[in-house]
């Protein structure tokens, strides 16, 4: 029986990867309590501009700020999603905290996956290059890749460059865009596009088949803040400002 979604991994594997990512969404959103929301100081002045310039109320602004915080957490989980997907391709496996993200079972390929091209500074770039170089040196037939799922262009090329004032070059260390890496592992030039087209159907199937397990993407931060503001008589914004900056002159009088 032919696969319903894509032909380079099983339907069951794709649904399992979607399930793992769904749980990450649930965890990220449900973990936003008032305490966690305040972990990074809230920019009260920006909240005012966001509310007035976008013509939305205080509660909607707070929800938007919470989603921004959740988004930062989810970006890491999206990278893990790609690792799991690629690890389901025949002949390859995900690293699962082994130092690499993907490797060929015969040790002819090692890869480190970043969801976006701009997630590393010079120090982390140097560290990644050294790690890939070590894999290449330890496995003489291995090609080693820095994978950028969302790259600025489509490419597969040797990673040669100047990092922190040092010149780096190795005959088997590469950098590669997401489309080319999916193509490399599957033998299909449009494999990433096929995944993109299949995801809406697969996600809908997952959600429809898991209604009993479905959890509301909810958090307690807004309700906690509203409860305190009702008790103190402050507006939501004033309560946030007081909670974050009561040690500033004047803010203690809010």
DSSP E strand stretches across 47-190: 92-94, 102-104, 109-116, 143-150, 156-158, 161-163, 166-168, 173-177
Report yes or no on 209 lying in a domain. Answer: no
- The answer on 241 and 118 residing in a single domain is no
Token pair for residue 93? 């496996």
Report yes or no on 202 lying in a domain. Answer: no
Report yes or no on 26 lying in a domain. Answer: no
Contacts of residue 63, defined as CB under 8 A and 6 or more positions apart, other chains included, come to: 222
- The answer on 155 and 79 residing in a single domain is yes
| Cα first-last separation, the chain | 67
Structurally, the chain folds into a number of domains equal to 2
Report yes or no on 23 lying in a domain. Answer: no
With a cut of 90, say whether residue 48 has pLDDT above it: yes
- The answer on 191 and 130 residing in a single domain is yes
Report yes or no on 60 lying in a domain. Answer: yes
Span 170-185, average pLDDT: 96
- The answer on 172 and 73 residing in a single domain is yes
Span 49-59, average pLDDT: 93
Of the ranges 29-38, 102-111, 135-144, 197-206, which one carries the lowest mean pLDDT score? 29-38
Classify each residue of 31-69 as buried b or exposed e, where b means 16 or more C-beta atoms within 10 Å of its C-beta. ebebeebeeeebebeebeebbeeeeeebeebbeebbeeb
For the chain, give percent helix, strand, coil, nearest 5.
55, 15, 35
Span 143-166, average pLDDT: 90
- The answer on 68 and 188 residing in a single domain is yes
Q: Facing residues of 173 across strands?
A: 144
Q: Which residue range(s) make up the domain with 191?
A: 44-195
* Phi and psi torsions of 247, nearest 5°: -85, 0
pLDDT, mean over the chain: 89
% of the chain exceeding 70 in pLDDT: 94
- The answer on 163 and 67 residing in a single domain is yes
- The answer on 226 and 136 residing in a single domain is no
How confident is residue 234, by pLDDT bands cut at 50, 70 and 90? very high
Report yes or no on 99 lying in a domain. Answer: yes
With a cut of 90, say whether residue 45 has pLDDT above it: yes
- The answer on 185 and 62 residing in a single domain is yes
Supply the pLDDT for residue 212.
47
């Amino acid at each position: 029986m032919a696969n319903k979604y894509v032909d380079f991994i099983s339907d069951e594997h794709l649904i399992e990867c979607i399930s793992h990512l769904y749980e990450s969404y649930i965890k990220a959103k449900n973990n936003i309590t008032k305490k966690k929301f305040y972990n990074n100081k809230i920019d009260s002045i920006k909240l005012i501009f966001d509310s007035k310039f976008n013509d939305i109320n205080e509660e909607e602004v707070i929800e938007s700020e919470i989603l921004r915080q959740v988004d930062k957490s989810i970006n890491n989980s999206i990278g893990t999603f790609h690792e799991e997907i690629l690890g389901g391709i025949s002949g390859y496996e995900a690293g699962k905290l082994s130092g690499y993200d993907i490797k060929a079972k015969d040790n002819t390929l090692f890869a480190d996956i970043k969801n976006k091209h701009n997630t590393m500074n010079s120090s982390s770039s140097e560290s990644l290059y050294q790690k890939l170089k070590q894999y290449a040196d330890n496995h003489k037939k291995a090609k080693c890749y820095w994978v950028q799922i969302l790259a600025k262009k489509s490419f597969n090329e040797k990673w040669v460059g100047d990092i922190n004032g040092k010149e780096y070059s190795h005959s088997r260390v590469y950098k590669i865009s997401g489309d080319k890496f999916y193509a490399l592992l599957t033998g299909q030039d449009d494999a990433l596009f096929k995944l993109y087209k299949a995801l809406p159907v697969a996600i809908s199937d997952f959600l429809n088949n898991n209604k009993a397990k479905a959890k509301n993407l909810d958090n307690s931060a807004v309700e906690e803040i509203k409860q305190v503001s009702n008790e103190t008589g402050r507006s939501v914004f004033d309560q946030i400002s007081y909670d974050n900056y009561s040690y500033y002159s004047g803010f203690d009088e809010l």
